[in-house]
C-alpha cells in the first residue's frame, strides 16, 4: 500500500514541475527564460550547401533564408558569469521560410545532462535547497552514483577550456534527426554547428575577464565582420543510439555531410527573440524531424511553452 500511495515524484515528470524547478534553482528571476536566461539576440542568414537538397527536401536546404538567433548561457540565472565552466553555452535559431520555419536549439556539448524527463526532474529535485538554504551534497552524490550518465555533460565541459566567444565554440543539436529527401529516402543524423573561428581562454586569460564579456565581444566581433558556422550532418551507423541524449556517437568515425553555412551578421533587439520561444519540436518543415521516440525531445515543446507563458506575464 505504501508504495502505491507514494509514487516516486520523479516518475511524474510533468513539464510544469520541471520548469518550476529550473526557475527555482536559478533564483526565481522574473521575465527571463527557465534556461538560457542570459543571452544575446541576433540576425543572419543560412545558405545551404550544394548537396543538402539530396538529403532533405526542406526549403531551407534549397535556397538562402533569413535567420533570427540567440546565444545564451545555460540556466535561469540572468546574472550567471560568462566564466562558468560546467555550463553549456546555448544557440537557438529560426531559419525562416513561408512553408515552415526550421528551428534548432543547440548547446556547446555533444550530450545533454539527462536521458529521460523523469531523470531530469530528479536531477533538479536533488539540487533544490533544503531548510538551511543549501542543496544536500549527499543527495546529489547518491543521485550521481545511481545515474552515472548524468555526469557526462559536466565531465565533457570540465575537460575543456571556456570558450572565448559565443561564436568561438561548436554547438550540437544532441538529438538524432531524420532527414527526408524529395524521393522519400531517409537519413538519420546528428547535427553539429561547427564554428569557423574557434577560440577559447586559458585559465590565466579567464581570470582576467569580467563576469560579463560575451555580449561586448560579440559586438566587437560583428563590427569587424560576420560570424560563421558550418552545419554538418553526422550520419548514423546501425546500432548508434537515437533516443539517448546522454550518449555520443564516435563522430570522427562517422560519415559527415555539409548542410550549409549559418552566418550571424548583427545583434538584434532582445524583443525580437523574447516575443516567442524557439520550439525545436513543433517548428520544423517537412523534410526534417527530431526523434518521435525520444521523450527528452517531445517534452521540450510543452516545457518551453510553460516558460514562455511565465516570463510573458
Ligand atoms: C535535450 C536537449 C536540450 C537542449 C540542447 C536544450 C537547449 C536549450 C537552449 C539553448 C535554450 C535557450 C533558448 C533561447 O535562447 O531562447 C533552452 C531553453 C529552455 N529549455 Fe532546453 N534544452 C534541452 C532540453 C530541455 C528539456 C528536456 C527541458 C525541460 C523538460 C528544457 C527546458 C527549457 C526551457 C523551459 C527553456 C526556456 C524556453 C523559453 O522560455 O523560451 N530543455 N534550452
Ligand 1 geometric centre to CA of 304 (Å): 7
With 50 as the cut, is the pLDDT of residue 11 above it? no
The reply to whether ligand 1 has any atom less than 6 angstroms from the CB of 191 is no
| Alpha carbon separation from 176 to 68, 159, 217, 291 (Å, rounded) | 23, 24, 32, 6
pLDDT at site 1 = 31
The reply to whether ligand 1 has any atom less than 6 angstroms from the CB of 42 is no
Neighbouring-strand partners of residue 48: 260
With 80 as the cut, is the pLDDT of residue 6 above it? no
Mutate to test the pocket of ligand 1, among 29, 35, 117, 302 (most ligand atoms within 8 A of CB): 35
Dihedral through CA 52, CA 55, CA 57, CA 59, nearest 10?
-20
Number of the ligand 1 atom closest to the C-alpha atom of 39: 15
pLDDT tens digits for 268-297?
A: 999 999 999 999 999 999 999 999 999 999
Ligand 1 geometric centre to CA of 106 (Å): 9
The reply to whether ligand 1 has any atom less than 6 angstroms from the CB of 90 is yes
Report the C-alpha gap between 253 and 207 in whole angstroms.
36
pLDDT at site 12 = 53
Mutate to test the pocket of ligand 1, among 36, 80, 170 (most ligand atoms within 8 A of CB): 36
pLDDT at site 130 = 87
Mutate to test the pocket of ligand 1, among 300, 301, 305, 308 (most ligand atoms within 8 A of CB): 300
pLDDT at site 313 = 85
Q: How many CB atoms lie within 10 A of CB 301?
A: 16
The reply to whether ligand 1 has any atom less than 6 angstroms from the CB of 19 is yes
With 70 as the cut, is the pLDDT of residue 7 above it? no
Mutate to test the pocket of ligand 1, among 304, 307, 311, 312 (most ligand atoms within 8 A of CB): 304
Q: Across the chain, what does the average pLDDT equal?
A: 95
Report the C-alpha gap between 106 and 110 in whole angstroms.
9
Local confidence band at 86 (pLDDT 50, 70, 90 cut-offs) = very high
Neighbouring-strand partners of residue 200: 163
Report the C-alpha gap between 273 and 92 in whole angstroms.
9
In this structure, what C-alpha cell is assigned to residue 23?
Answer: 526557475
pLDDT tens digits for 27-82?
A: 999 999 999 999 999 999 999 999 999 999 999 999 999 999 999 999 999 999 99
With 90 as the cut, is the pLDDT of residue 190 above it? yes
Ligand 1 geometric centre to CA of 138 (Å): 27
Ligand 1 geometric centre to CA of 277 (Å): 10
Domain hosting 287: range is 2-312
Q: How many CB atoms lie within 10 A of CB 122?
A: 22
pLDDT tens digits for 140-171?
A: 999 999 999 999 999 999 999 999 999 999 99
With 60 as the cut, is the pLDDT of residue 186 above it? yes
Residue 52: give its domain's CATH number.
2.40.180.10
In this structure, what C-alpha cell is assigned to residue 298?
Answer: 517531445
pLDDT at site 5 = 34
With 50 as the cut, is the pLDDT of residue 10 above it? no
Report the C-alpha gap between 157 and 174 in whole angstroms.
15
Ligand 1 geometric centre to CA of 171 (Å): 14
Residues tagged in the binding site annotation for heme: 304
pLDDT at site 133 = 86
The reply to whether ligand 1 has any atom less than 6 angstroms from the CB of 245 is yes
Domains of the chain: total:
1
Amino acid at each position: 500500500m505504501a508504495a502505491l500511495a507514494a509514487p516516486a515524484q520523479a516518475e511524474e515528470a510533468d513539464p510544469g514541475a520541471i520548469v518550476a524547478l529550473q526557475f527555482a534553482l536559478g533564483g526565481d528571476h522574473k521575465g527571463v527564460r527557465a534556461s538560457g536566461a542570459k543571452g544575446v539576440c541576433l540576425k543572419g542568414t543560412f545558405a545551404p550547401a550544394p548537396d543538402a537538397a539530396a538529403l532533405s527536401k526542406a526549403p531551407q536546404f534549397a535556397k538562402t533564408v533569413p535567420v533570427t538567433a540567440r546565444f545564451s548561457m545555460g540556466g535561469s540565472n540572468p546574472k550567471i558569469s560568462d566564466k562558468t565552466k560546467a555550463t553549456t553555452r546555448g544557440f537557438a535559431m529560426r531559419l525562416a521560410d513561408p512553408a515552415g520555419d526550421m528551428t534548432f536549439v543547440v548547446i556547446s556539448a555533444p550530450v545533454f545532462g539527462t536521458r529521460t524527463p523523469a531523470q531530469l526532474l530528479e536531477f533538479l529535485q536533488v539540487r533544490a535547497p533544503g531548510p538551511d538554504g543549501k542543496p544536500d551534497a549527499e543527495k546529489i552524490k547518491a543521485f550521481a552514483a545511481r545515474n552515472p550518465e548524468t555526469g557526462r555533460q559536466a565531465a565533457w565541459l570540465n575537460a575543456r577550456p571556456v570558450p572565448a566567444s559565443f561564436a568561438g565554440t561548436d554547438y550540437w543539436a544532441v538529438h538524432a534527426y531524420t532527414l527526408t529527401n524529395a524521393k522519400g529516402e531517409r537519413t538519420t543524423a546528428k547535427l553539429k554547428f561547427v564554428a569557423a573561428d574557434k577560440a577559447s581562454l586559458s585559465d590565466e586569460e579567464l581570470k582576467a575577464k569580467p563576469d560579463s564579456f560575451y555580449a561586448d565581444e560579440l559586438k566587437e566581433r560583428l563590427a569587424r565582420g560576420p560570424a560563421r558556422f558550418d552545419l554538418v550532418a553526422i550520419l548514423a551507423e546501425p546500432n548508434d543510439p537515437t533516443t539517448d541524449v546522454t550518449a555520443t556517437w564516435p563522430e570522427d568515425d562517422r560519415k559527415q555531410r555539409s548542410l550549409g553555412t549559418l552566418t550571424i551578421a548583427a545583434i538584434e533587439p532582445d524583443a525580437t527573440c523574447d516575443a516567442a520561444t524557439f520550439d525545436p519540436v513543433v517548428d520544423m518543415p517537412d523534410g526534417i524531424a527530431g526523434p518521435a521516440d525520444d521523450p527528452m525531445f517531445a517534452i521540450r515543446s510543452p516545457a518551453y511553452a510553460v516558460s514562455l507563458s511565465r516570463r510573458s506575464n
